[in-house]
Structure 1
Amino acid sequence: MHGGQSVQRKAVILTCALITCTLIGPAGLAPAATRGSRQPASFDELTAGFSRPDMVYAPFTFWFWDEPLQPDKMERMGRTMLEQRLNPGYAHARMNMVGLEDLPRRQWLSPVWMDAFNRVLTAAEQAGCYFGYVDDYWWPSGRAAGRTLQRHPDLWAVSLRWETLDVRGPATVEVPECFFAVAAHRADALDDPGPIHGGRLDPNGVPARHEPARIVSDSLRLVDANHGRWSVPEGSWRLYAFIQYYHPGADGGRLNYLDERLPAAFIELAHEPYAQRFGDRMGRSLPGVFVDNEGDYGYKLAWSDTLDRRYRGQWDRDIRLWMPLLIDEDVEGRFAVARWQWFETVSNIYTEFLGAVSHWLEERGVYCISNLWEETLMWQAGAVGDFFKAQRAYSMPGTDCLGLNALKCHDFKETQSVTEFEGRRMQSEIMGAAGFWGFNPITIKQVANAVTTWGVSHVVPHGIFTTRTLSGNPWLPDWYEQNPMWPWLHQWTDFVRRASFVNSHGHTAADVLLVNPMDSVWALAGPGAFDPALPGRVPVPHVMPLPGPDDIPQTREELKRNSAWWCPPKMDEWFSPAVHHINAAYTQAMNDLTDARVEFLIADRHYLDQMQVRDGRLVRPPFRFRAVVLPPLVVLPSAVAEKLLDFARQGGTVYALGMLPAGSVERGMNDAAMAERMQELRQLPTFISCPDGLAAQIARDPGPLRSHIEFIDGRFTMLQQHRRIDDRHFFWLANNTGSPQRCTIRIPGVAGRAAIWDCEEGTRYPVPSACTDADSTLRLTFEPYEAFWLVIDPARQPLNEVGPSEAPPPVVIAIDGPWIARIDRTDQPPLEHTPTIPDDLVTPVGRRVKLEDWSKWGLERFSGYVDYDTTVTLPQGSGRLQIDLGKVSHLAEVWLDGRSLGKRLWPPFVFEVPRATRTEGPCRLRIRVGNLINNNYGQDAASGLFGSVQLRRLP
């Protein structure tokens, strides 16, 4: 099905050791601090565990507990998930999405919650599976269902806005009432002697948008606002009066995540109850916790006493003095330093909150999953701060992947890089908000193929709702038993489990490094990133008074409004065209490298600091990078710039996609030493300017931007990842198209025994190859949507042959019917809307039909199963025999004389006919076809068996 045409698959399948699913894991694997770590494993251990890996590698569903709890119902639902080898996953307390009664906030962590949780956890243990929790009610994490503020009413979020006063001195002016005030000499002369007011609130409470000015940073001085008047020195001056206000964060948070007291307060309220009840099971059957905090360090110019103190301690400067440089640029160029230091300090404190929760869980053997905004550099800067630093704080970094974004690399590559450098597994919450329109057997297979390519080893499907009323739910799909595909879902979960098992070991073989440009984004962030005149995501007033104790109770409507799940984030709009240009070039570089199947990782300054230059390579074991790609940059850390220059001097290739930095994070925009380094870099023969992007450069001369696999013939859009595990080469190869593919490939520098590890069936079989000491040539066949691990073992001799390019054609016998269709009412999914079914389709006689769409039979709102019956006479003789159903919408099971030939959840719908079932004379052929849940909700989706149905006899 996958491999060289000269080898009959049935003759070469290797026997896989069957490892029973236990809570300990595959025999011989070394224990890890948590199951979120990459565990060392020998090749023999991987081989033994591949067929039936521990269930910790199977998908964990995002399970929404969104109605008043009935422990019996929760246990039944959990056991139903376990039947499909789907871990019940992570229990998420939340509001109801269809207008029914919410899960009462008082029930979260109550005795009834713990009873329901215990029942599901016990059921998971009995099945050798796992169950975890999301650590808050609704989102963002930290609120503890409002209990954090109830217990600590001084932990409200605080932000700063400002009003400006432009005036020409000498003069005396009134200082607006404020928290503090700073003045700076303007570099440009004022035509109007002033005072000119800016940033004031209009009658509706909306601040006027900031009018930028150029200032002299050497003139910055604090102004005593207590006396209410300021004596303006000679010249043109701008006074900045900073005023505290309240606004929920980008993800609706009301808490001050920059207050160092928050982590302990939240852990006590949200995590300690689990430790008290389930402490002996934490790190065992309760292996992990999901944190739904996508990024919420505070709103715009966030403030806390902790920030004030930490900034002073780290930079030896009063944070207030340089606040104007976050908003306006200075002639000295120090604004880049001021902004960088502010973001760096904010990121440190916010990351401490995230990391404190993860560390507390790690001490109990429990991994902690992140769920941060990764969509753009602007979102990251405006809500997360330092995305890489935040991801490093978690024992299992993750991504929140909505819709079909999983089919693209962008949202994964940064997180994948952190997990590869840190030796951790990678989570992805997949297909949230895809709706039923984007949810079918093919798309879930395509998504699984893709996220495995991007390095994901822990898949969390979004989601399953406890409330089984789905009409009007904006956060579909729902994966549960109303879907006709549900009884087939174990085929997908088994596939994911095996793919994730391999992906959880070893490391990628990346040899190209893309530099993360967040330092430059920070330097260019202003004033829109801080100005409340540019609205945020949450639909509330631009500026609100600081809350008091009476504001702590939060209604359902306010909680829903603050979460703003129906509103797109607006952080992109806060940033300048220069930042958008950097983001676009950075994104395109990821796409270009992925399209060229180049193995690459992304490094921030932290990882670049850890690397050493050796023989023209950037080295951080086990990685050795031979090429570096620079997006457009305005600043770099000086040590990083020097290291990149040394790398190029020693023969490493540097590709630049735009401007090189003229500034540093230490000295600002006008750093002569940085300019000198970049001038030398431009003149080196290993420097390549790529103003038209990497794709054009790769087409001209790929140089070190080469794929580890070359097509000799049969090129197609193949997904590819190369891993190294115990000195073996593991290539994940995927055909995400609807057409079969045949190709011949060459793998330079890799030789040895080749085998395919089939994640659908859990089998392994060798593939012939023509090998030299330096490379391997193989011929591969891919069915539609097929993916597998191609494993090359240098310790074993290859099968030195490549079979003929085409196998002998099969003998095809059409199965033309007649076809009788029936619907068994007793064996259908529990639909929300009862469909109308014509009477003759539910009688024992059934209806004689053509192979056409069910809508022509009066089944427009029907979602479920139709059985097709006919008789067929099997050809006798040796050789393989298959039944090919042709086109099926969307899943099928086949019986021959009452014996099941198997199920298929995605194409190709081809079923082997075992010799034991081949009898002379007519046989009864029954084909059960299932369609999609879409039809039951009025979405017209193709349904039925379309054929052509054939018997195929192969040699």
Structure 2
Amino acid sequence: MKDVGMPVAAGLLEQFKQPSTAYRSLPFWSWNDRMSADEIKAQIQEMSKQGMGGFFMHSREGLETEYMGEEWMACIQAAVAEAKAAGMKAWLYDEDRFPSGGAGGSVPRLGGDAYRSKALTMEVTAGHKQEVTSGIIAIFAASVEGDVLHHCRQVEQTDPDLLLDGEVWLVLRREISGPCEWFNDESPVDNLNPDAVAAFIEGTHEPYKAVIGDEFGKTVPGIFTDEPSIADFHSVYTRPWLPWTDEFASYFQERRGYELEPLLPYLFFHGEHSAKTRHDYWRTITDRFCAAYSQQLGQWCEDNEIAYTGHYLIEHNLGIGTRVSGAIMPHYRYQQVPGIDLLGEQADEYITVKQCTSVANQYRRPVVLSEMYGCCGWDFTFEGQKWVGDWQFALGVNVRCQHLSLYSLKGCRKRDFPPVFNYNTSWWKYNHVTEDYFARISAVMTEGIAVRDVLVIHPSSTLWTMIGCDPYVYKGWEDPNLLRANRYEEGFDKLIRTMLGFHYDFDFGDETIIEEKGHVTDGSFFVNYAGYRVVVLPRLHTLLGSTMKLLLAFMDAGGTVISVGQGITRIDGELSDEVYTLYSHEGMRIVGNEAELCSMLESVLPRQVSIRRRTSGEAPEFLYYLKEMPDCYALFVVNNDRNAGQEVEIALARVGRLEQWDLLTGETKEMGAEIRKDGMSFIANFGPAGSRLYVIHKDSQPKAALSTFSYAQTHELRLCDAMLGPVSTFSRTMPNALLLDTCSYRLEEDDWSETMFVWEAQKHVRDLLGMRQVHYNGLPQRYKWIDEPHPANETRIALRYSFEVQAVPERDVFLVLEQAEQ
């Protein structure tokens, strides 16, 4: 707290009761129509009224105002001015839709092929002489069997006389991606090229600075980057491919100390050198992507006193995440506000959240943003918001970015991954309830330091050894290498779920970050600012040499390392006998499975928090998040089971006066606890998807209470009984509505068509008139073509809607139309 001399807990309580803008949600406000300054101001006022803290000004499908044009910039200025007047925050978004880097296609056009996405492609050909084409990097004569490479030798040309019996040509090229509608008919951008990223900054960030730079760090806290990658699956190539950029070969040699070119076939085929070559290739891709993109953007933001935030493509999948980013976690080093994208009504992507919140903890980044709720549908409920949000907040997220808050619902815009968090939803007037709820969690759990004393080494380097590309056919997400990685991920995911359910909270340790920021101090294994007492190796195949040295130093200092299995056979991707030194150290503990891992953790490290059932051990459906502040602890506990409540015993390895802080009302009450030799415990009853926030004050003792279960039968709470009772009255808050979503049509005086969905009628009509389609998302942005004249403009169309009613209403009936003024 900023107030000099104010106890942290006292200041914390003030923020809890009335959370400030800093702790409130920041929805993706989708600018998806022809923008109006007056409408922008009106919608900001609605967001403020309903408890939101700000918004991201997000170019989205359907935009009819030219992106980054004069009118666009005027709207940005209007939004910033209105946000300032309302005490809200106006966050920028750095792209025309997503993924970030191309500035709506202007960057690739600006730099030509130098700035367009590139690939290393593979062609396997028969023995006849091939015409030499441009872009060839290397040619090999090789003996292959399926996707196995027995041997290869580099040659200058595809001369049949050079081939031995059974050999084929392997031709590797540098290719430029073809254009794609999604990128406004341009190629994806080359985010491995630092000059292309510099052009992106010059064309996006600098113009924003020119018009609203006075509010940087004030009303405009930061800018969001969305799903940047180095291998976008919108890319267009004719052969199997992997990410590439100009000068990558020399960059590789500089970083790794040897030439990559003679080993290129091993990126596609499996063979003697595949694991090492792939490991070093993806390690170098990671270094290059981080330096060219994230570090450059993060530094610009730091220099201009705003926060770099956003998320990276496919964080949730180890295999595809490697394919599109090299590794995800190293990028978070450069974000002042690390962020993730976790869509859908689910609580399954533990890896996604933990990767981000771990780096945030290690770099002491207090705010972690999550883009959440997209794809949950129009019928998404408040309970769904709470369940999804509680789970993420228990893992370390503390600010919601709701996906989406649509400026307009016209046409196919309403199908843009709902739900919608804006005035145009039926429940909008109650939105402030969830805003206050989550703001209260954030106000408390943003403060202090996370209490986590276990480090799990992230398997990114193991994934590097596994990921290649099928040498014959590009299969995208179905590539056998990625499917193999998915199977590995299943085991890794099971391990981390088991640890969290057994209530040993942890951080991931990324080896790239460990190499840069790892050290052993006072018997603890540190990653930057965060220290750990136990390190877990989760069925890894390889380690960086720098990681192994630190692990040995940690064990020499008395630290404990627990290895699940003895699968590590490589150092820096290469087979090595050095691993025996690791496994034979007296500080090493080797276990065979998740159950043995949990037992071993119990034997070497007391729990910080235990959440036990009445009848059997730890309750795995419960999660917790523990933060320490100078004069108190904050404990957030979540029952992740949506269907059943449960009475549990919560035990802490610390003692203090115990309070429960009500997240819905802002009220507080003191609770009793039983003091034990290793801390204190108390009983709590949670409903389905229930959550509780506790504050433990260090300066005094808890009041006495017996820590015993009630032994009363636990009943499942039924919402209808709890809130309405068996008999209730009701009144409508708005008129009944009948959706008219089918029609027949005719053009001019033609015959009527058959009955079909409205969107199908629109598709047919535009086909008949030779117009660009608009019935789905994914086309070039509308501002690129919407104002161009068309020969069939002004064609008259009639629509006929048919429906049945059993009782004709006695009162007035109203027709609600989109764009009724037309």
TM-score normalised to structure 2 length: 0.78
Q: Which amino acid aligns with 2:450?
A: T
Matches within 5 A, 1:609-688: 609=515, 610-613=517-520, 617-620=524-527, 623-648=530-555, 652-665=559-572, 668-674=573-579, 676-681=580-585, 684=586, 686-688=588-590
Q: SS at 1:151's partner residue? A: helix
Residue ranges of structure 1 left out of the alignment (5+ in a row): 1-25, 31-39, 96-101, 191-195, 199-209, 537-569, 836-955
The equivalent residue for 1:504 is 446
* Residues 731-753 of structure 1: CA deviation (Å, up to 9, x unaligned): 111234455544333223x0111
The equivalent residue for 1:866 is none
Q: SS at 1:136's partner residue? A: coil
Q: Given the superposition, is the C-alpha separation of residues 771 and 135 from structure 1 closer, same or farther in structure 2, using an over 3 Å criterion?
A: same
Paired with 1:818 and 1:307, the residues of 2 have a C-alpha distance of: 72
Paired with 1:680 and 1:234, the residues of 2 have a C-alpha distance of: 47
Q: Which amino acid aligns with 1:336?
A: A
* Residues 600-636 of structure 1: CA deviation (Å, up to 9, x unaligned): 1111113433444467642347544233222222221
Shift of residue 341, structure 1, vs aligned partner: 2.3
Q: Given the superposition, is the C-alpha separation of residues 173 and 463 from structure 1 closer, same or farther in structure 2, using an over 3 Å criterion?
A: closer
Paired with 2:131 and 2:7, the residues of 1 have a C-alpha distance of: 67
Shift of residue 722, structure 1, vs aligned partner: 1.4
Shift of residue 270, structure 1, vs aligned partner: 1.1
1:752/1:797 contact within 8 Å kept: yes
Paired with 1:757 and 1:404, the residues of 2 have a C-alpha distance of: 27
For 2:409, which of 446, 449, 468 is the aligned residue? 468
The equivalent residue for 1:720 is 624
Shift of residue 664, structure 1, vs aligned partner: 1.6
Matches within 5 A, 1:768-917: 768-772=672-676, 774-802=678-706, 821-825=730-734, 833=739
For 1:240, which of 154, 158, 170 is the aligned residue? 170
Shift of residue 706, structure 1, vs aligned partner: 6.0
The equivalent residue for 2:783 is none
The equivalent residue for 2:30 is 64
Q: Which amino acid aligns with 2:116?
A: W
Paired with 1:638 and 1:109, the residues of 2 have a C-alpha distance of: 47
The equivalent residue for 1:391 is 332
> Does 2:288 match 1:349?
yes
Paired with 1:512 and 1:484, the residues of 2 have a C-alpha distance of: 45
Paired with 1:469 and 1:688, the residues of 2 have a C-alpha distance of: 60
Paired with 1:813 and 1:318, the residues of 2 have a C-alpha distance of: 70
The equivalent residue for 1:150 is 109
Q: Given the superposition, is the C-alpha separation of residues 766 and 821 from structure 1 closer, same or farther in structure 2, using an over 3 Å criterion?
A: closer
Shift of residue 499, structure 1, vs aligned partner: 1.1
Paired with 1:380 and 1:719, the residues of 2 have a C-alpha distance of: 26
The equivalent residue for 1:79 is 45
Between Structure 1 and Structure 2, how many residues are aligned?
A: 712
Paired with 2:335 and 2:543, the residues of 1 have a C-alpha distance of: 26
Query: Radius of gyration: which is bigger?
Result: 1
Shift of residue 284, structure 1, vs aligned partner: 0.6
The equivalent residue for 1:46 is 12
The equivalent residue for 1:526 is 468
Shift of residue 90, structure 1, vs aligned partner: 0.5
* Residues 898-947 of structure 1: CA deviation (Å, up to 9, x unaligned): xxxxxxxxxxxxxxxxxxxxxxxxxxxxxxxxxxxxxxxxxxxxxxxxxx
Shift of residue 28, structure 1, vs aligned partner: 3.1
Larger deviation: 394-403 or 500-509? 500-509
> Does 2:374 match 1:432?
yes
Q: Given the superposition, is the C-alpha separation of residues 659 and 231 from structure 1 closer, same or farther in structure 2, using an over 3 Å criterion?
A: farther
The equivalent residue for 2:792 is none
Greater share of helix residues, 1 or 2? 2
Aligned residues with identical type, % of pairs: 19
The equivalent residue for 2:382 is 441
Matches within 5 A, 1:225-304: 225=157, 229=159, 232=162, 239-247=169-177, 254-297=188-231, 300-304=241-245
Paired with 1:505 and 1:532, the residues of 2 have a C-alpha distance of: 53
Larger deviation: 590-599 or 305-314? 305-314
Shift of residue 246, structure 1, vs aligned partner: 3.5
Q: SS at 2:289's partner residue? A: helix
1:59/1:460 contact within 8 Å kept: yes
Shift of residue 582, structure 1, vs aligned partner: 2.5
1:256/1:297 contact within 8 Å kept: no
The equivalent residue for 1:853 is none
Paired with 2:409 and 2:151, the residues of 1 have a C-alpha distance of: 60
Q: Given the superposition, is the C-alpha separation of residues 382 and 622 from structure 1 closer, same or farther in structure 2, using an over 3 Å criterion?
A: closer
Shift of residue 478, structure 1, vs aligned partner: 1.0
Could you say what the CA RMSD is over the residues aligned between the two structures, in angstroms? 3.6
2:230/2:243 contact within 8 Å kept: no
Larger deviation: 57-66 or 315-324? 315-324
For 2:247, which of 306, 314, 318 is the aligned residue? 306
Paired with 1:294 and 1:461, the residues of 2 have a C-alpha distance of: 20
Paired with 2:82 and 2:482, the residues of 1 have a C-alpha distance of: 53
Q: Given the superposition, is the C-alpha separation of residues 616 and 243 from structure 1 closer, same or farther in structure 2, using an over 3 Å criterion?
A: same
* Residues 50-70 of structure 1: CA deviation (Å, up to 9, x unaligned): 222320210001111111112
Paired with 1:173 and 1:153, the residues of 2 have a C-alpha distance of: 32
For 2:156, which of 218, 221, 224 is the aligned residue? 224
The equivalent residue for 1:91 is 57
> Does 2:343 match 1:402?
yes
2:192/2:230 contact within 8 Å kept: no
Q: Given the superposition, is the C-alpha separation of residues 291 and 248 from structure 1 closer, same or farther in structure 2, using an over 3 Å criterion?
A: farther
Residue ranges of structure 2 left out of the alignment (5+ in a row): 236-240, 714-720, 742-822
1:468/1:832 contact within 8 Å kept: no
Paired with 1:249 and 1:385, the residues of 2 have a C-alpha distance of: 24
Q: Given the superposition, is the C-alpha separation of residues 391 and 620 from structure 1 closer, same or farther in structure 2, using an over 3 Å criterion?
A: closer
The equivalent residue for 2:151 is 215
1:626/1:704 contact within 8 Å kept: no
2:564/2:597 contact within 8 Å kept: no
> Does 2:670 match 1:766?
yes
For 1:708, which of 605, 608, 614 is the aligned residue? 608
* Residues 510-547 of structure 1: CA deviation (Å, up to 9, x unaligned): 1122111111111122243xx471233xxxxxxxxxxx
Shift of residue 183, structure 1, vs aligned partner: 6.0
Matches within 5 A, 1:685-704: 686-690=588-592, 693-695=593-595, 697-698=597-598, 702-704=602-604
Q: Given the superposition, is the C-alpha separation of residues 108 and 726 from structure 1 closer, same or farther in structure 2, using an over 3 Å criterion?
A: same
* Residues 457-511 of structure 1: CA deviation (Å, up to 9, x unaligned): 2210111111224776051111223433211111111111121122222222111
The equivalent residue for 1:28 is 3
Matches within 5 A, 1:73-152: 73-95=39-61, 102-104=62-64, 107-152=66-111
> Does 2:536 match 1:580?
no
Q: SS at 1:771's partner residue? A: strand
Paired with 1:257 and 1:108, the residues of 2 have a C-alpha distance of: 21
Larger deviation: 55-64 or 305-314? 305-314
Q: Which amino acid aligns with 2:500?
A: T
Q: Given the superposition, is the C-alpha separation of residues 66 and 487 from structure 1 closer, same or farther in structure 2, using an over 3 Å criterion?
A: same
Q: Given the superposition, is the C-alpha separation of residues 832 and 649 from structure 1 closer, same or farther in structure 2, using an over 3 Å criterion?
A: farther
Matches within 5 A, 1:737-756: 737=642, 739-748=644-653, 750-756=654-660
Q: SS at 1:126's partner residue? A: helix
Paired with 2:547 and 2:179, the residues of 1 have a C-alpha distance of: 33
Paired with 1:444 and 1:411, the residues of 2 have a C-alpha distance of: 18
Shift of residue 292, structure 1, vs aligned partner: 1.2
The equivalent residue for 2:262 is 321
2:139/2:156 contact within 8 Å kept: no
Shift of residue 419, structure 1, vs aligned partner: 0.7
